[in-house]
Amino acid sequence: MIEACFEKTKQFPAGQEIVARCTRPEAVHVILSGYAGCLKSLPDRQRQIVAYFLPGDTCNLNVAILGHMDHSIIALSPCEVAYFSTSVLEELLSRQALARALLWTTLVDEGVSREWLLNMGQRSSERRMAHLFCELRYRLAAVDLVEDESFSFPLTQVQLADTLGITAVHANRMLQQLRALGLIELKRGQLKILDLGDLENFCDFDSRYLHLELRSPRQDMHHRT
Amino acid sequence: MIEACFEKTKQFPAGQEIVARCTRPEAVHVILSGYAGCLKSLPDRQRQIVAYFLPGDTCNLNVAILGHMDHSIIALSPCEVAYFSTSVLEELLSRQALARALLWTTLVDEGVSREWLLNMGQRSSERRMAHLFCELRYRLAAVDLVEDESFSFPLTQVQLADTLGITAVHANRMLQQLRALGLIELKRGQLKILDLGDLENFCDFDSRYLHLELRSPRQDMHHRT
DNA sequence: CGCGTCCTTGAGCTTGGTCAAGGTCTGTGG
DNA sequence: CCACAGACCTTGACCAAGCTCAAGGACGCG
């Protein structure tokens, strides 16, 4: 029923803005393929990627309710994006079960961003990176995009560094480190986790914060698309 | 109408757990006075405070919907807390306007935690601390707890450090720094901002992410209590 | 008064940042 | 098919923000 509302889809090349900061877009976006990111930046060109949006994720629910964006959404890799207008969202909200599903989604997102805060505040950059990879593994597996513990990771090291709050040079070294420890392989935008248990132990990963135990509304959306 | 649902209130001394991790509390909590915090921790006793709850804030909405907590809520100072049962929440959700208000609240919280991520990833610890103080100033002003740019900040330096992802020693030094720069005064749990404009410039603070321009449901709750 | 909690300060060390150069890979045009 | 450009990755040397360990001081409470 939701996909019936998609009005159009669009392709974005890597690096392009999907939704600009401070604007008031009149559509909600759903990522169909590729990686998108929620970007916040400071005046002196420091930038922090504060969330990833993977296939199936809805990415600017908030504008419809809050009125304006305090961040921008950019394509981290080439992306295919579907839209539905905020008037459709209004319609969804008026239906009991869907209002609950929307609330569920935002609460999960909030939980994820708090886990990211823990990650930023307490883990070394090496473990922080490992933790991010574990998270991606589970989120992508939930939408069936992991095969043989391997999945697409098309970001540049600069983008990865901006996600982790470190410099690109340091991101590179930590990546080498994880490779040297035999935890991952990464080449040509394809990430392979060599031993998921080891990687999880290495960074104290516990997938429960992702709330994948229940079928989420977003998974429904994706599977039916 | 909401306050009619409060079933009881309770006092908590500083440091006590209000809601334990991994439990499934059957009540949603609203802070009436004091500071509470959302705490996440790692096995080796590293801890990160990932959110503050100030008077008027609702703090575990998520359990009613998500089913379990992946963090605990602790009293950062002595707190007075009101409860309403999750069955009341169900009731609220069934009413159109309230479902929207709940969604609004969680979206704002999510926006705040993304701003914290920017803070953690990109700002120096000194500016990070200044940014936190600016945020508190606005959030407390919204519930009328700021007088003459001065408000209660009853946390220890250890708690402040855990919020900012630094050590207590370093928190102490950065606090001295802010004092030396003439930006703030802090004694006896009372924080005074000497020049709000200067402090905001110092850390590039922009209050829009707090979405205070509209009256929030949580403010309604507080004012009527 | 004495104890516990919190705050303050110093010295040395480690993680991650900066600057700079060189290497690899891919796509494009001759 | 090769040469070149541009984007990305890699490595090294040095530097600084923030951490650790340790000791002493202030303050409030029984």
| Separation of CA B173 from chain center | 23
C8 nearest neighbour residue (CA to C1'): B172
CB within 8 A of B144, min separation 6: which ones?
none
DSSP per position, A51-75: EEE-TT-B--HHHHHHSS-SSEEEE
Q: Which two tokens stand for residue A141?
A: 């597996």
Give the residues of chain B that fall short of pLDDT 50. 1-4, 216-225
A218 pLDDT band (50/70/90 cuts)?
very low
For residues A66-88, average pLDDT:
80
Strand runs labelled E in A43-193: 47-53, 72-75, 79-85, 150-152, 184-187, 190-193
Give residues 128 to 157 of A whose Cβ lies within 8 Å of B: none
**Mapping DSSP to helix (H, G, I), strand (E, B) and coil, where does residue B185 land?**
strand
> Least CA distance to B214: which residue of chain A?
A66
- Dmax (CA) for chain A in angstroms is 53
**Of all nucleotides in the shown strands, which has a C1' nearest the CA of B187?**
C7
A47 to chain B, any CB pair closer than 8 A? The answer is yes
CB within 8 A of A126, min separation 6: which ones?
A174, A177, A178
- DSSP state, A15? T
CB within 8 A of A165, min separation 6: which ones?
A48, A120, B120, B121, B122
Give the Cα separation of B128 and B139 in Å (integer).
17
Distance from CA of B168 to the nearest CA of A (A): 13
| Separation of CA A32 from chain center | 12
Residue among A46, A65, A216 with most chain B CBs within 10 A, to mutate = A65
- pLDDT in the model for residue A128: 94
Burial B46-75 (b: 16+ CB within 10 A, else e): ebbbbbbbbbbbbbbbbbbbbeebbbbbbb
**β-strand partners of B44:** none
Give residues 192 to 221 of A whose Cβ lies within 8 Å of B: 204, 208-209, 211, 214
Give the Cα separation of A167 and A172 in Å (integer).
9
Q: Could you read off the pLDDT of B90-133 as tens digits, one per residue?
A: 777 777 777 777 787 888 888 888 888 888 888 899 999 999 99
Give the Cα separation of B127 and B224 in Å (integer).
36
CB within 8 A of A133, min separation 6: which ones?
A153, A178, A184, A191, A193, A199
The C1' atom of C25 and the CA atom of A187 lie apart, in whole Å, by 12
Q: Which two tokens stand for residue B45?
A: 């006793």
Q: Could you read off the pLDDT of A105-158 as tens digits, one per residue?
A: 888 888 888 888 888 888 899 999 999 999 999 988 988 888 999 998 888 898
Using a pLDDT cut of 90, give the percent of chain A over it.
25
Residues present in chain B in total: 225
The C1' atom of D4 and the CA atom of B32 lie apart, in whole Å, by 68
**Mapping DSSP to helix (H, G, I), strand (E, B) and coil, where does residue A8 land?**
strand
B167 to chain A, any CB pair closer than 8 A? The answer is no
**Mapping DSSP to helix (H, G, I), strand (E, B) and coil, where does residue B170 land?**
helix
A100 to chain B, any CB pair closer than 8 A? The answer is yes
**β-strand partners of B11:** B80
> Least CA distance to A212: which residue of chain B?
B66
- pLDDT in the model for residue A138: 92
Bases along strand C below 7 A from a protein CB: 5-11, 15-20, 26
B150 touches strand C (CB under 7 A): no
Give the Cα separation of A39 and A70 in Å (integer).
9
A214 pLDDT band (50/70/90 cuts)?
low
The C1' atom of C30 and the CA atom of A13 lie apart, in whole Å, by 29
| Angle (CA) A185 A190 A191, round 5° | 40
Q: What pTM, to 2 d.p., does this model score?
A: 0.83
Phi, psi for residue B212 in degrees, rounded to 5:
-90, -5
